[in-house]
Structure 1
Amino acid sequence: MSVISIITPVYKPVPEQLLAAYRSLQEQRMPEGWAWEWIVQEDGETDAACSILPEDERVSISRNRHSGVAITRNLGLARARGSLVKNLDQDDILTPGVLGRDIQVMTENPEVQWVTSRVLDLLPDGSTVGFENDPPEGPLAPGLVLRHWQEHNYRLPVHPTTICIRRDLLVALGGWMSVPGSDDTGMLIAASVVSTGYFVGEVGLLYRKWPGQVTAGASHTEPVEWKLRMSLIEERGRTLAALQRPS
């Protein structure tokens, strides 16, 4: 049986939101020969996730000292068994069929090392809003994501929180990048420079917009820190690109 590992870092979870994420996993129909496991890694020793989620043999919950989201994701990765690794934040919701689509793309296209999907913002009133500038469905050549990001004031053409990536590549890149608030962007940029990706045009995630989310806080866009982490992510991308060129 092949396994796809869904990794969710948890910190001060809202019970209704974490349960909605769990239900979105329960509703997935898996391709023959595949199963999912949910690696829930709690950032801080509170056992909040255990008190919220029901017992399920497919769900593995652990915890670490409070270390931030990137380290928490990476410690979850250390416990994961899957050859494919899928991101799912604690307040987001997978759409029906997304795991099957990710798996299909990766199994039918061995050159593709990571997949992202279309996203809808889920607003507090339950309505959804899409994006107007999604790329066309299909392969994303190495270097394309970095160039777009550089040319559009550090705005990505695809949403990093939807990523499904081959475990071997993720481990080789050092997992999620240890920068505050942009760890998934740092990882996606690195992966996109050294390998071919793929964009799925069907909606794969409902990205919850609410006042308590980390990216809604003022600290996420504080200018000095934002500039530092964008600079480091960009330098990493450029360096990896240079290493890919023939000497």
Structure 2
Amino acid sequence: MAHALDEPLISVVIPCYNHAHFLAEAIESVRAQSYPRIEIVVVDDGSTDQTAEVARRYPGLRYLRQRNQGLAAARNAGLHASTGRYLVFLDADDRLLPGALHAGRECLQEHPSCAFAFGRYRWIAADGAVLPELPEDRPRPPDAYQAFLEGNYVAMHSTALFRREALFQVGGFDARLRECEDYDLYLRLTRTRPVAEHSALLAEYRQHGSNMSAHAPRMLGTVLRVLRAQRDHVVGNPAYAASYRKGVGAWRDYYGEQMLREVRRCVRERQWGDARRTLGALWRLCGARIPNVLLLYALPPKLRSALRRLRQRAARSADLAVEPR
């Protein structure tokens, strides 16, 4: 076995915004890795809780603080402050499993042309208990860029181990994005380089009420903008164009279902203003992919007229906003 000093350094960047109550678990999960050479960089994105106090309990850890700029900017700050040849970006409320870095490093050794390698994850509850179900595997095209046009097949960002030079070649994360910055990065990386996938279980994704993915209208609007930025790269390639359209539909279905549940919740609780706003976002972003009969069945009469008006407006504009030119 190679001496530990012969192994390349892996930097684990942990952005944190008001997740001090989870941060120690994230740090401890990195310290428990079987891989011998690790650098931990915690980026405090303007937290108002005890994030600094938690981070400073750990000697040797690099702690950076910046004004609140969002997850993408925090990850970029960690990228620039780090020194490792490889990087993992671990959210402060999640955990790595002990063999995660070793498995990713081995995979990239076997695939030297790949920009990053990723594996599997499992869900945990807010208290850290492992949840019984595993995320579903989905079939995908063999071409990495085509696969990511259809959806975010990494799903949990902390399972990805990146080559440092690959991140700098594409300029890191787009700090203008407040969500979906990981998906945008995968699309930009895979336009020019392959990626590697392996079957090792690497990380634990915590499910709790403050996850950003709970905000379906905002998430859907952003992911459609991210996909729309790829239009010039799919024109002239029928396979890419078909996967682009499939991805647009899949994202609308995924977040549209979440918005439909929110509309029904608002109706049950008689929150008519919130129901109308969510309904407006549903039709503006999802258009004809929403099953009209189910919506009409779910809504009381006082919202049906609003639904019909929104449908008429959405039918004229929603599809034009995201389809390839």
Superposition TM-score tier, normalisation by shorter sequence:
0.7 to 0.9
- Shift of the 168–18 alpha-carbon distance from structure 1 to 2, 3 Å rule, reads same
What one-letter code is carried by the residue in structure 2 that aligns with 1:159?
A
Residue deviations 1:132-157 (CA, integer Å, cap 9, x gap): 32569xxx96xx23323434xxx222
What one-letter code is carried by the residue in structure 2 that aligns with 1:148?
A
Counting only pairs closer than 5 Å after superposition, residues 9-20 of structure 1 correspond to structure 2 as 9-15=15-21, 17-20=22-25
Give the match's secondary structure for 1:194.
coil
Partner of 2:72 in structure 1? Answer: 70
- Residue 204 of structure 1 and its aligned partner are, at CA, apart by 0.8
Counting only pairs closer than 5 Å after superposition, residues 54-203 of structure 1 correspond to structure 2 as 54-124=56-126, 126=129, 127-134=131-138, 144-151=143-150, 155-159=151-155, 161=157, 162-178=159-175, 179-203=177-201
Partner of 1:23 in structure 2? Answer: 28
What one-letter code is carried by the residue in structure 2 that aligns with 1:9?
P
- Shift of the 177–238 alpha-carbon distance from structure 1 to 2, 3 Å rule, reads farther
Q: Aligned partners of 1:166, 1:124: CA distance in 2, in Å?
A: 31
Q: Which has the larger radius of gyration?
A: 2
Q: Structure 2 regions of 5+ residues with no counterpart?
A: 238-325
Q: Of 213, 216, 220, which residue of structure 1 is paired with 2:214?
A: 216
- Shift of the 47–212 alpha-carbon distance from structure 1 to 2, 3 Å rule, reads closer
Q: Aligned partners of 1:135, 1:52: CA distance in 2, in Å?
A: 41
Report if the CA contact (8 A) 1:145-1:156 is conserved: no
- Shift of the 98–46 alpha-carbon distance from structure 1 to 2, 3 Å rule, reads same
Task: Considering Cα pairs closer than 8 Å and 6+ residues apart, tell me whether 1 or 2 has the greater RCO.
Answer: 1
Q: Aligned partners of 2:108, 2:188: CA distance in 1, in Å?
A: 18
TM-score normalised by the chain length of structure 1? 0.81
Residue deviations 1:161-182 (CA, integer Å, cap 9, x gap): 0211110110111111232211
- Residue 45 of structure 1 and its aligned partner are, at CA, apart by 6.2
Structure with the higher fraction of residues in strand conformation: 1
Give the match's secondary structure for 2:184.
helix
- Residue 46 of structure 1 and its aligned partner are, at CA, apart by 4.6
Partner of 1:7 in structure 2? Answer: 13
TM-score normalised by the chain length of structure 2? 0.63
What one-letter code is carried by the residue in structure 1 that aligns with 2:155?
H
- Residue 103 of structure 1 and its aligned partner are, at CA, apart by 1.2
- Residue 47 of structure 1 and its aligned partner are, at CA, apart by 7.5
Report if the CA contact (8 A) 1:160-1:188 is conserved: no
Most deviating of 56-65 and 124-133: 124-133
Q: Aligned partners of 2:37, 2:43: CA distance in 1, in Å?
A: 19
- Shift of the 105–12 alpha-carbon distance from structure 1 to 2, 3 Å rule, reads same
What one-letter code is carried by the residue in structure 1 that aligns with 2:90?
L
What one-letter code is carried by the residue in structure 1 that aligns with 2:13?
I
Q: Aligned partners of 2:123, 2:156: CA distance in 1, in Å?
A: 14
Residue deviations 1:29-50 (CA, integer Å, cap 9, x gap): 11xxx41111111111657322
Report if the CA contact (8 A) 2:20-2:54 is conserved: no
Question: Between Structure 1 and Structure 2, how many residues are aligned?
Answer: 226
Partner of 1:245 in structure 2? Answer: none
Q: Aligned partners of 2:20, 2:80: CA distance in 1, in Å?
A: 25
Q: Structure 1 regions of 5+ residues with no counterpart?
A: 242-247
Report if the CA contact (8 A) 1:43-1:67 is conserved: yes
- Shift of the 120–65 alpha-carbon distance from structure 1 to 2, 3 Å rule, reads same
Most deviating of 43-52 and 173-182: 43-52
Give the match's secondary structure for 1:129.
coil
What one-letter code is carried by the residue in structure 1 that aligns with 2:81?
R
Q: Aligned partners of 2:114, 2:225: CA distance in 1, in Å?
A: 31
Q: Aligned partners of 1:97, 1:224: CA distance in 2, in Å?
A: 36
What one-letter code is carried by the residue in structure 2 that aligns with 1:230?
L
- Residue 128 of structure 1 and its aligned partner are, at CA, apart by 4.0
